[in-house]
Amino acid sequence: MPENKELPVYPMTAIDEITYRTPDALLSGQAVINVIQSCVPNIKNAWFIPSIDVDTILIGIRLASYGHEMDFTTSCPGCNTTKDYGVDLRRTLDSIQAPDYSQPIIQGDIEIYFKPMTYKNLSDNNKMQFDDQRTLNSLNISSADDVTKISAIADAIKKMTEMTVIALAQSIVTIKTPTAIVNEPEYITEFMINCDRTMFNRIQNYVIEKKTMAEMQPLEITCDQCQHTYKQPLTLDMSNFFERAS
């Protein structure tokens, strides 16, 4: 970290742009890693950056590479009119909040301290979710019998549940009890598997709340045709985020 506590961000090179258009690299997350480490050289291993910082870093790279304006297309839910809009990424960047993870959850004599997942955690979880979704989609067009399909669906649902538990466990850094301090990931995961519903829901709500705080806020748009006002989520589509406006 530099003395001024600000990471220098450089524009994308031609190689970076080619990397970011490689489908396999996008799917694995390696494209994001390569581009971040190229454009923000102070980050030595981008796999281990907090996942809540990824959007901020990518916006910084987009600003350095192509300027502050980014176009997107939205469709009005009231009349289905489609229109192109522009968003000032400088204002978007200013609106992103950094969640405070210092406050634990306390229930009885147990204290649970949290941290954001790493980008590697997020990427691995997304790949597992993608594989499960692909399996479910393939069942719809397969000639397998109903028993086989039901069994496959049950397995997929079980995996999704396990992924939820793993993701929550990856967001916990320490569990303190009167007799022990637990930091080991395998024991934290075991705690998540065996805790009661009240504790599980508190942890899940805490993690979702912190994640939501770090996300870009939706834009409020009024349709020119029907005057309907609606909120448009602003997401960073990895396949076209760095495309230049034509």
Q: What is the pLDDT of residues 137-174, one digit of tens each?
A: 776 656 667 777 778 778 877 888 888 899 999 999 99
For 110, list phi and psi in degrees, rounded to 5: -110, 130
Q: Which residues contact 198 (CB under 8 A, 6 or more apart)?
A: 107
Give the pLDDT mean for 113-127. 90
Neighbours of 143 (CB within 10 A): 5
Q: Which residues pair with 71 in a beta bridge?
A: 86
User: How high is the pLDDT of residue 179?
Assistant: 92
Mean pLDDT throughout 93-116? 91
Q: Which helix (H) or strand (E) holds 92?
A: helix 89-95
Share of the chain above pLDDT 70, in %: 92
Mean pLDDT across 86-93? 88
H or E segment and range at residue 18: helix 14-20
Record the pTM: 0.79
Give the whole-angstrom CA distance, residue 217 versus residue 235: 9
Task: Give whole-number Cα distances, 172 to 49, 118, 154, in Å.
Answer: 16, 12, 28
Residue 73: strand, helix, or coil = strand
What does the CA dihedral 225, 228, 229, 233 come to, rounded to 10 degrees? -80
Residue with tokens 């796999």: 47
68 close to 90: Cβ distance less than 8 angstroms: yes
* Average model confidence (pLDDT) across the chain: 86
Q: State the CB neighbour count (10 A cutoff) for residue 135.
A: 15
Phi/psi at 121 (5° precision): -55, -50
